[in-house]
Amino acid sequence: MCVARAGAVEDMLTKLQGKAREHLIRAYAPKSKGVLRSALRKFAMFVQSIPSRQLFLPSKVSGDRAAAAHNEWTLILFVEWLLEHVSPKTGKPVASSTVSGYLSLLKGYFLFSYDFEIPNPSPRLSRLVALIRSEDLTAGSRSKRHGFRRRHLRKLWKLGGTRCGGSQHATTMLAALATAWHVLARGGELCSTAQRAGPMRSDVEYKVLSTGERYAIIWLRPLKTKGVAPKVPQYVQEAGGGGADVYMLLRRMEAADPVSSAARATTPLFRTRAKRGGGFRSITVAHLRKYTRDCAAALGYLIRKQWGAHSGRIGGATDLASTGKASELLLKAKGRWASDIGRIYARMTRRCQLAASRLMHKARGRDLEEIHPSFTQGI
């Protein structure tokens, strides 16, 4: 009896320790498992290059400055090692943002895993990273993708061909790209990933207004939110046909790939045939990226890397902003942006520039400083 009780206590201890470890790993590196693995792999290569150095010293007492300084210096050497190596993907030196990201993850991981002290803030390490950032001419710049806009969708539809139909895959992919444009969706909001499932067929509802106009509601779960975000509705009105009529393209997709009412809750909204087994699988971000680039090439845009899974989102934001009737509040709400980053996605158009020029030619009124000499406009 005592043996059984001791075994049960040990099982409970193992269970609690496992859960605690799992939660702490998520706390130290949320949504960064892939980056953390890359950082650990780089650090292992660094360790192999300096076998004579003792990497980290345990603290003899609380606040052991000698051990903390030694551990900080190890990370400084790691930074210098990173700067001497080029990225295997780009063939360029490692970006300063990558260096600081690796450091942040490694410090948390090492503290959690081995409980040794690294000073926080780390004065020398912080100065070094700040210097690297100031000398990195590409820091803060962001490689922008081109937007796949309404005119691109309409032109693609007029061209016809295998990308607009003829197969279940082509019909599905065109519907996915057009939906991404219309609801300003990230690739990961329409496609299944390793971390989350995409929308299901049951997440689309077809409605009719009292005027007879038809529309659809697509329930999307936003990305980049803490926890499990609730789904939000996106409205899609019928638009008379063509490549930008998302309502028609969704109906067309469901006609080409029908499912029973009972299966709608478990069937991905956008799916394609699996290469093995003869069944179906949800489309992935890689599918959407490749299809977008193929469509751009068909329209004459041959630099494939300028297009990606965010191109529909960018094009939709640009088209919405270019109407001149969309407030920033509407743009943020429709794109599910928590900040004003929507202004980055909404590219400036010639129409907007000309409208601004016409408004400036109509400018009237005096500065307040002229009317009230004591008034000073804040910067």
pLDDT at 358 over 80: no
In this predicted structure, which of 15-19, 64-68, 239-243 has the lowest mean pLDDT? 64-68
Q: Look at 4-8, 98-102, 317-321 and tell me which has the smallest mean pLDDT.
A: 4-8
pLDDT tens string 280-293: 889 999 999 999 99
Tell me the whole-structure pTM to 2 decimals: 0.62
Q: Binning pLDDT at 50, 70 and 90, where does residue 121 land?
A: low
Predicted pLDDT of residue 16: 83
Confidence of residue 138 (pLDDT cuts 50, 70, 90): low
**Is the peptide bond between 222 and the residue preceding it cis, with omega within 30 degrees of 0?**
no
Average pLDDT of the residues in 196-203: 89
Confidence label for 35 from pLDDT (cuts 50, 70 and 90): confident
Above 90 in pLDDT, residue 265?
Answer: yes
pLDDT greater at residue 61 or residue 139 = 61
39 vs 254 pLDDT, higher one: 254
User: For the domain with range 150-356, which CATH number is right: 1.20.120.450, 3.40.50.720, 1.10.443.10, 1.10.3720.10?
Assistant: 1.10.443.10
Let me know: does 37 contact 118? Beta carbons within 8 Å: no
Rounded to an integer, what distance in angstroms lies between the CA atom of residue 181 and that of residue 9?
Answer: 56
Which residues 6+ apart lie within 8 Å of 215 measured at CB? 206, 207, 208, 209, 235, 236, 237, 238, 247
Distance CA(144)–CA(308), nearest Å, equals 10
Closest C-alpha to 72, from 135, 114, 113, 126: 126
Per cent of the chain over pLDDT 90 is: 21
Q: What pLDDT, on a 0 to 100 scale, did the predictor assign at position 192?
A: 82
Query: For the chain, which residues make up each domain, given as ranges?
Result: 19-135, 150-356
Predicted confidence (pLDDT) per residue in 87-119, tens digit: 776 677 788 778 888 887 887 777 766 666 565
Write out the two tokens for 33.
């498992």
- What pLDDT is stored for residue 249 in this prediction? 94
Is the confidence at residue 264, as pLDDT, over 70?
yes
Region of residue 324 (left: phi > 0; alpha: psi -120 to 50; beta: else): left
Instruction: Tell me: pLDDT of 143 over 80.
Output: no
**Average predicted confidence (pLDDT) for the chain:** 79
pLDDT given at position 354: 59
Residue 176 three-state SS: helix
Q: How confident is the model at residue 379 (pLDDT cuts 50, 70, 90)?
A: very low
pLDDT > 80? residue 346: no
**Across 149-166, average pLDDT:** 86
Residue 214: what residue type? Answer: R
| Better-predicted residue by pLDDT, 29 or 302 | 302
pLDDT digits (tens, 9 = 90+) for 327-345: 777 777 777 776 665 565 5
What does the pLDDT look like over 184-197, one tens digit per residue?
888 888 988 766 78
Q: Mean pLDDT across the stretch 159-178?
A: 87
